Amino acid sequence: MRWLGKTISYLLQSGLKNAMLGHLSKESNFPELAYQTVMDELMECQYFDKDSLGLNVASRDCSSKLVEI
């Protein structure tokens, strides 16, 4: 997931406003862990503002939050 944080931080420079983490396995990737790992990586970036990105985690069991693009 750290590579995903690096990718999102790169995309923030080109105007990314929302990101959805998905494809979480039942065995190894928990939604909370995925979210926190990506957020930790983003917080290491000097230009990241926590309020500038809507970061969501797709649910395995039901419809996810609607994201307007």
Q: Would you say residue 6 lies in a domain?
A: yes
**Which stretches within the chain are classed as H helix?**
2-12, 31-43
8-46 per-position pLDDT tens digit: 888 888 888 888 888 777 777 788 888 888 888 888 876
Q: Would you say residue 69 lies in a domain?
A: no
- Kindly report the CA angle at 60 between 41 and 68, in degrees rounded to 5? 70
Range(s) of the domain holding residue 13: 2-57
Q: Would you say residue 67 lies in a domain?
A: no
Tokens of 36: 């926190």
Q: Fill in the amino acid letter for 31.
A: P
Q: Answer yes or no: are the C-beta atoms of 54 and 18 closer than 8 Å.
A: yes
pTM of the predicted model over 0.85: no
Number of domains in the chain: 1
DSSP 47: T
Q: Would you say residue 52 lies in a domain?
A: yes
